Structure 1
Amino acid sequence: MPFTEKSRFLPILPAHPGGRAAVTCRYRCGDACSHEAPNTSDNPYFGDVVRGAVDRRKVLKAGAVLAVSGAVLDVGVAAASPAGHGSGLRFEPVEPNTLDAVVVPRGYEQDVLIRWGDPVLPGAPEFDFANQTAAAQAMQFGFNNDYCGLVRVPRRGHRDRWLMVNNHEYTSESFMFLGWNDDDPTREQFEIALAAHGLSVVLLEQDRRGRLEVRLDRHYNRRITMTTPFDVRGPAAGSDYLRTSADPSGTVVLGTMNNCAGGVTPWGTILSGEENVNQYFANADAVTDPVARERLARYGFPGGETTRKWERFDRRFDLARDPNEANRFGWIVEIDPLEPESNPVKHTNLGRFKHEGANVIVARDGRVVAYMGDDERFEYLYKFVSDGRYKRGDSRYAREHNKRLLDSGTLYVARFTGDSPTSEIDGSGELPADGEFDGSGEWIPLAGGDRSFVDGFTAEEVYVFTRQAADAVGATKMDRPEDVEPSLRTGRMYAALTNNTDRGPGGKEGPTEVNPRVNNRHGHVLELEEHRRDNTAERFSWQLLLVCGDPESPDTYFGGYDKSQVSPISCPDNIAFDDRGNLWLSTDGNALGSNDGLFAVPVEGRERGHVKQFLTVPAGAETCGPIIRDDFVLVSVQHPGELDGASADNPLSHWPDGGDSQPRPSVVAVYEKRR
C-alpha cells in the first residue's frame, strides 16, 4: 500500500462552506466566509461581447513567448518525476481518502524534510511542544508553512544545493498550546506566535541517491518573523497613510504576516503575498474618521477584540490607537535568500489587498509582468507591468538592477466579457451553446508611478486602498482569485478561483460567464491569453479550463476531456508547472468529503483537461506550495489535524510522527522509487 499500516481513517466532520473546518476559517481568515463580503460595489458585468473582438481560438493556437527563468536558480520547473511520453503524466492516480497520512502513487516514496519546530538556525534547541519559548521559535521552523520556493545556490561545478523558502501563514493557537485559553493568552504565547509567523530560509542539499536533506547553514539559513524590519519601497513609501507613531517616516515596517502563496523571480528572489491581515487588528469600530472607517470596512477589519488578542500586548494591533498600522500590511514582500543580511522589501507599486501571491514573467520587450489575485469572495485579478527591462546574466550589476524592477511600473485590474448571451449563463454550470465558457477582456490601468488613472483617487490612494480604486473602474468580481501564475512555456496565465458559495443567493451578484455557477462550492480554473501573445498587452482572451467538482455532476467541465476518466477535484488553490507545461493544482477545503491533494492536468493536446490526482494529505490538512521537478516533488502540508473538535488537548491527527504525538505542519518530498 502507498501508505503505512499505522495510517487510519479520520471522521469527516461538519465544515464551513467550501469544505474547510470551521476552526481553520477562524484562525486562517478570521471567519471571512461567515461575514458579509466586504465588496458592496455595484460593478456591472459585461456579458455581451462586441463582435470582432479578439478571437480567442486563434490566440490560443499561437506560439510561445519569451520567458526568462534566471541564471543562478531554477525559476521554472523541470519535468516532474512522473514524466514519460506525451503529457508525461504516467503515474497511477491516488484514490480519494480520509487517511491520517500523505498518500502517494504506487512506485513513489516520501520523506518529511522539516516540521514545525525543527531547527533552522545553528544552535536552535530541539522542539519541545510542552515547553515552547519565543526565543526558541525564532530559531526554529515556523507554524503552518504554505508557499515553498527554491533558489539555487551558486556553486561552480555543482547543481545540488538550493535555498528553500517557506511562508508561515498563520498560527492556530489551540493546536499549538496545551490548555489554551481563548480569553486569557499569555505574553509568552503572544511572542511565540509572533515568531511562528513570517518565513524560513533553509539550505537543502541533494545526496547521491537524489534525496534532499536540510542543513543548518550559518550563512544562508534565516528566520523572518513579525519583528524583522522591512523596507517600504515604491511610490507610496513615506505616504501619510503609512506613517505611525512608531515609524513617522512611513518607510520601515516590523514584520510580515499571513503570508500565503508566492513566486520565484527571474533574478533569484522570493515574492510572498500578505493575505488575511485584517483579522490581526482590533477595534476598527473605534476609529472615528468616517473615511478611515469606510476604508477599513472595505478590507474587512473587525470591530472589537480579535481572536488572538494581540492588541493586549502591542498597541500597533489596536486600530483605536494607531489606525495607519493596518495600511502597512497587505502587500507583496520580496526576500533575497542569497543575501541573508539584506532587509526584505514591501512593494507598494503592486497594490494593497489580500494578496494570495505574485508570479513574474519576462515579456518579449524585456519588461517584467507580475500577476496577482485578491483572495476573497467577489474580489479581483491584477497585474503589474514594470517600466524598466530585465537584464540577463548573473553579474551583481544585473541582479541589483533587476531587484529594482518592481519599484516602478503600472498597476492594472481585469474586466471580463463573456461571448455567450446572458440567457445561456443560468447559474447551473451548463455549458452555453458554443460549448465553452469563454470570452475577452481588458486590463484597466489604475496607477503608474505618481500618476493615478482613477477619477477621485490620488496615486497614493490607489496603491494603499487598491480595492476601492478597482471598484471605481468597474473591475469584474471573481470567485476568490487565489494563485495566479503564467506558464513560462506559453505565456498564458492560469488562475485558481477557489470557490464562492455566496454567488447568487441573498441579492449577491449572480452567475457570469467567467463565474458561471451559483453557490460555487468547488471552484474553477481560468486560462487567459494576452493579445498578440504580449504579456504587457491591455486586451486578452480567456476560457475556463476546469469547472471543478464531481465528474459525474452535470455542472463540471474538464477542458472537453472524457469526464469518466478524470479524478474528482474541488477548491483549487496553488498552481505550479512541470517542464512539459502541465499544470499542477493543490486544493484547499475539498468540498467532496475527502482529503485535499495535489493534481496534474495537461493544458494542450489530446489529454487537455485530463485531471489526475498525484497525492493526498492527512485529514484536516491543506496541500500548499507545490514544486514539481524531474527528481522530486515538494508539498507543504499545512494545518494537519485541524478538525472541528480537535485541539492540542484532544489531537485527532498524529501525523507526521505517529504514536500519540501532536500533528505538525511540515514539508514533504516525494520521489519515484528507483527500479
Structure 2
Amino acid sequence: MTQPRRLLPIVGAALRGHFGRSASTCRYRCGNACDHPEPNESDNQYFGDLVQAEVSRRGVMRGGAIGAVVLGGLAAASPAVAAPADPDADAARDVPDAAELGKSGAPAALGFKAIPPNRLDSFIVPNGYDHSVIVRWGDEVLPGAPKFDVYQQSAEKQKKQFGYNNDFVAVLPLHGRDRALLVCNHEYANPELMFPGFTSTAALTVEQWKIIQAAVGMAVVEIERVGRTGEWQLVRNGRRPYNRRVTASDTRFTLTGPAAGHEWLKTAADRTGKSVIGTFANCAGGVTPWGTVLSGEENFNGVFVGANGAPEAAKPGLKRYGFDIANRGAANWDTADERFDLTKNPNEANRFGWIVELDPFDPKAAPRKHTALGRLKHEGANVILAKDKRVVAYTGDDERFDYLYKFVSHKKMRDGRSPSARQHNLTLLESGDLYVAKFDGSGRGRWLPLVKDNASRVEGMTVAEVLILTRLAADKLGATKMDRPEDVEPNPKTGKVYCALTNNSRRGVGTDPGVDPVNPRANNKHGHILEITEDNGDNASETFSWKLPIICGDPADPSTYFLGFDKSKVSPISCPDNVAFDAAGNLWIATDGNALEANDGLFAVPLEGPNAGYLKQFLSVPFGAESCGPFISADGKSVFTAVQHPGERDGARVENPASTWPDGDFAKPGIAVTWKLDNGPVGS
C-alpha cells in the first residue's frame, strides 16, 4: 500500500551520541569509539582559513560544484577463476566459466516504487518482489554439523555452523548459472543475544568465549538457484567440497609482504612472525579479478586487554589504533586465550588490522594477510586494473578523522585460466606501492606515497614500520582527515572511485577539526559520498580530481544534495556504508546506523539521464538490524543482503528479543535474497 512520504526528523532524542545505533552495537563492534577521543591526534594541516570562503565560493551544496556519482561495486565483475590447487574430480567440474560471469541482464532504468521509511520488524521489499532467507546463524556449513540449538551450543558445534553477524557478501558462480559460492564475513558477536540467561560479559564462561571466537571470521557455503528464478537456497545434500568456516580461534593464516617476519610480528607462539591464528572484526571486502575474496579486519582493538602493561615503546602505536593504554580493560577474550592479553603478548595486536585474501575455490589453502596494503581499521578493499594491468586496491580506515588509502601492485595481472596464470595472480597483493590521500580546496588531490619502489617515503620509518604502523606514517605525511571512510570502490565501467563517508559526530565540535570542502558539514550525522577521478583515466595515477555528488540526510534539510534532482521525490537516506553497482551502472547503497529514526535499508539511484539522483529505498531490514552487502548477481536477477545484528537494542535478550527475525522465535543474523516476481532484472 502506498503511503505518503513523511519527512523524518533530523535528530531524535534517542539518537544522541550514537545516532541510530544502540549502546550494544557501539560496545561490541567498535569498543564505544564515539565515546572516546579519536585516536588521530596529529596536527595535519587542513584547509583552515580557506574553508568558509571556499565552501561559499564553490557552492558545495549546489549543482555547480557537485558532479555525477557512481559508487563502486562488483555486481558485474568477471573474475577468471582457475581450478583449485588440489581439487578432486567433482570440484574441478565446478570451476566457473569467465565468459558466463560477464553476462548480465541488469536494467538501465530503476522502475520500482520506493518503500517508505519504517520501524517494522520485517524484511520489506517493493511491490512485485519477493525475498527469502538463504542462511542464518547456526545453519549447517560443514556437512554433518549438529542441528543448531541455542540452549545446547558449544564451540565445536559453532565451528561447523554459520557464524554470527554476517557483513560483507560475495557470490561467485560455479559451473553454469545455477550454482554459486556465497562468501561472507562474520564481524563480531552479541553475547546478550546469543546466550540464554545472559547477565553480563563478566559472567560468561570460558566455553562461551570460545563460542564467540568460533562464531566470528568468515564462511563459504554452496548455494543453488531455485528453478529459473532469482531465488537461491543452500545446497544441503552431497559433498559440498568448498564449504568452509574460518574462525578467530583455530584457522591459520600466512603473513605475506615486506613486513612479514618483522620483530614486531613475532610472538612466543610464532617466532617466525609469518603465521597468525585467526581473523575477526571482518567488515567489508571485495572480489578480485582472479576469483578470490578480500576481507578487511576493522575494529580489532576491542578484544584485547592489558595495553597498559605493554612495553613503553609500543604504547604510541597502540594508542593510535584505539587501545586503552591507561587501563587494563575488560574485553574477556583473554579468558579463553591469553594471546589477547597485551601485557603478556604485546606483539599480538600487530597481527591484526590487515587485508585478508581467501581463495574460496581452494579450501585447503591457508588464507593470507597482506602486509603490503598496510595495517589500519580496514573497512574492506576493492580492486580495479590500471591501464598497464597492475592491480589497484582502494581501502578506507573506518574511524573519525582517519584516512583514505590506495595500493598499486608491482606486478601485472595475467589473463587466462591456466594454473600458472592464477598462481601468478595470487601473488599480486604481496608487493606494491602504498599511498594515502590528501585533498585540497580546489577539487584536486594527491596520493602521497608511504612506500614506493620498495622504499619507505616516511622519514624515520622503515618499510616494515610504515606497514605495521600505517596510521602513524600517514600522520607524518599530512593526509586529510575524513568523516569515517568506509566502503571505497571503483566503478568497473568508468574507473572513477567512490567512497562512502558514513558520518562524523565530532566534525567541527569543540576543539576537533572543523569543516572543509571535502567534509563540508559540522556534526555530520548522515554522511556523504565522495567521487574521485584519477588523472588520465588511470587508476595508478598519483593525482586526481574530486567532487561531492551526494550529501545524505532528510531531503527537507537544505544541506542535502542528490545530483540536483527534485528533493521532494527522493527517499531519506542516512549513514551510507556498503555499496554496489548493477551492470547498468546504477548505484546501490546499504546503510548502517540510520540517524533519521527509521530502519536501515538498501537504496538505489540512477547516475545518468533525466532521473540521475532520483534515489529510492528498495528494501528495509528488520528492527535493530544493519543492512550489509549488498551484492547484485551477474545476471541482474538477484540482490543479496546481509542482515546484521537484528534486534540489537539495549535490554534485548534471547528470552526477550527486540526482533524475532527471521524465524519468529529470537533474532538471528542471516543473508536474504530478493528477486522480481516476473523473473526480470532487479530494479526494473
- Assess same fold via TM > 0.5: yes
Partner of 2:653: 647
What secondary structure, in the 3-state scheme, does the structure 2 residue paired with 1:375 have? Answer: coil
Separation in structure 2 between the aligned mates of residue 366 and residue 199 of structure 1, nearest angstrom = 29
Residue of structure 2 aligned with 1:214, choices 234, 239, 244: 234
Distance, in Å, in 2 between the alignment partners of 1:112 and 1:345 is 30
Q: CA deviation at 1:46?
A: 4.0
Q: Which amino acid aligns with 2:302?
A: Q
8 Å Cα contact 1:124/1:139 also seen in 2: yes
C-alpha deviation, 1:15, in angstroms = 5.9
1:215 deviates by: 1.5
Correspondent of 1:125 among 123, 143, 146? 146
**Is 1:520 the equivalent of 2:524?**
yes
**Which amino acid in the other structure matches residue 546 of structure 2?**
W
Structure 2 residue 99 is matched with structure 1 residue 93: no
Give the corresponding residue for 2:353: 330
Q: 1:77 touches 1:577 (CA, 8 Å); kept in 2?
A: no
Specify the code of the residue in structure 2 equivalent to 1:416: F
2:208 aligns to what SS in structure 1?
A: helix
Q: 2:193 aligns with which of 175, 189, 194?
A: 175
- One-letter amino acid of the counterpart of residue 632, structure 1: S
Distance 1:564 1:223 in 2: 46
Contact 2:286–2:293 (CA<8 Å) still a contact in 1?
A: yes
2:379 is equivalent to residue 356 of structure 1 = yes
Corresponding residue SS for 2:203 = coil
Q: Deviation at 1:650?
A: 2.0
1:163 and 2:181 aligned: yes
- 1:343 paired residue number: 366
Query: Residues 388-420 of structure 1: CA distance to partner in whole angstroms, max 9, x if unpaired?
Result: 11111111111111110001110000000122x
1:297-316 correspondence to structure 2 within 5 Å = 297-303=319-325, 304-316=327-339
Contact 1:68 1:361 (C-alpha < 8 Å) held by counterparts: no
Q: Which whole-Å deviations, capped at 9, do the CAs of 1:299-343 have from their partners, x for residues lacking one?
A: 001244555401122111001001100000000000000000000
Name the counterpart of 1:435: none
Q: Confirm or deny that 1:146 pairs with 2:167.
A: yes
Matched with 1:623 is: 627
Deviates more, 1:177-186 or 1:132-141: 177-186
Give the alignment of 1:430-449 within 5 angstroms: 439-448=443-452
Choose 493-502 or 605-614, whichever is displaced more: 605-614
Aligned to 2:316: 294
Q: 1:570 aligns with which of 564, 569, 574?
A: 574
**What secondary structure sits across from 1:546 in the alignment?**
strand
Structure 2 distance, partners of 1:367, 1:314, is 40
Alignment of 1:478-497 (within 5 A): 478-497=482-501
Tell me whether 440-449 or 543-552 shows the greater mean CA deviation: 440-449
Alignment partner, residue 220 of structure 2: 201
- The verdict on how the C-alpha distance between 1:519 and 1:440 changes in structure 2, with shifts beyond 3 A counting, is same
What secondary structure, in the 3-state scheme, does the structure 1 residue paired with 2:210 have? helix
Note the 1:554-593 alignment, pairs <5 A. 554-593=558-597
Equivalent position of 2:606 in the other structure:
602
Contact 2:414 2:421 (C-alpha < 8 Å) held by counterparts: yes
Query: Is the Cα–Cα contact under 8 Å of residues 241 and 324 in structure 1 kept in the other structure?
Result: yes
Distance between the aligned counterparts of 1:665 and 1:638, measured in 2?
5
CA drift at 1:448: 3.2
Structural mapping, 1:72-111, within 5 Å: 72=81, 84=107, 87-111=108-132
**Aligned-residue RMSD, C-alpha:** 2.5
* Match among 65, 74, 79 for residue 70 of structure 1: 79
What is the percentage of aligned positions where both structures have the same residue?
Answer: 54
Write the deviation string for residues 241-294 of structure 1: whole angstroms up to 9, x where unpaired.
Answer: 1000110100000000000000000000000000000001101111242x3111
Do the aligned partners of 1:524 and 1:546 also contact (CA within 8 Å) in 2?
yes
What is the Cα deviation at residue 505 of structure 1? Answer: 1.1
The one-letter code of the counterpart of 1:514 is V
Alpha-carbon contact 1:448-1:459 (below 8 Å) kept: no
> How many residue pairs align between the two structures?
633
Structure 2: how far apart are the matches of 1:68 and 1:670? 19
Q: Which residue of the other structure, out of 246, 249, 266, is the alignment partner of 1:243?
A: 266
| Runs of 5+ consecutive residues of structure 2 not aligned to the other structure | 4-11, 58-63, 82-95, 680-684
What is the rounded CA distance, in whole Å, between the counterparts of 1:243 and 1:590 in structure 2? 41
Amino acid at match of 2:320: R
CA contact (8 A) 1:2 1:106 kept: no
Q: Is the 8 A contact 1:146 1:638 kept in 2?
A: yes
Which one of the candidate residues 452, 455, 460 is aligned to 2:456?
Answer: 452
Which residue is equivalent to 2:340? 317
Query: What is the alpha-carbon distance in structure 1 between the residues aligned to residue 302 and residue 272 of structure 2?
Result: 25
SS in 2 for 1:462: helix
Contact 2:305 2:331 in 1 (8 A): no
- Specify whether residues 103 and 17 from structure 1 end up closer, same or farther in structure 2 by C-alpha distance, changes over 3 A only: same
Q: Which amino acid aligns with 2:164?
A: F
Superposed CA offset, 1:539-590 (max 9, x none) = 0001111110000011111111111111100000001000011111100000
1:608 to partner: Cα distance: 2.2
Match of 1:257 in 2: 280
The one-letter code matched in structure 2 to 1:545 is P
Distance 1:551 1:97, change over 3 A: same
2:93 maps to which residue? none
Question: What is the alpha-carbon distance in structure 1 between the residues aligned to residue 45 and residue 377 of structure 2?
Answer: 22
Contact 1:387–1:410 (CA under 8 A) maintained in structure 2: yes
What SS does the corresponding residue of 2:550 show, helix, strand or coil? strand
Q: CA deviation at 1:218?
A: 3.5
Q: Using the alignment, how far apart are the partners of 1:450 and 1:320 within structure 2?
A: 33
Question: Among 391, 414, 431, which residue is 1:391 paired with?
Answer: 414
For the pair 1:533 / 2:573, whether they are aligned, the reply is: no
CA contact 2:69–2:498 (8 Å) conserved in 1: no
Greater shift in the superposed pair: 17-26 or 263-272: 17-26
Judge conservation of contact 1:17–1:521 (CA < 8 Å) in 2. no
Q: Provide closer, same or farther for how the CA distance between residues 116 and 59 of structure 1 changes in structure 2, counting only shifts above 3 A.
A: closer
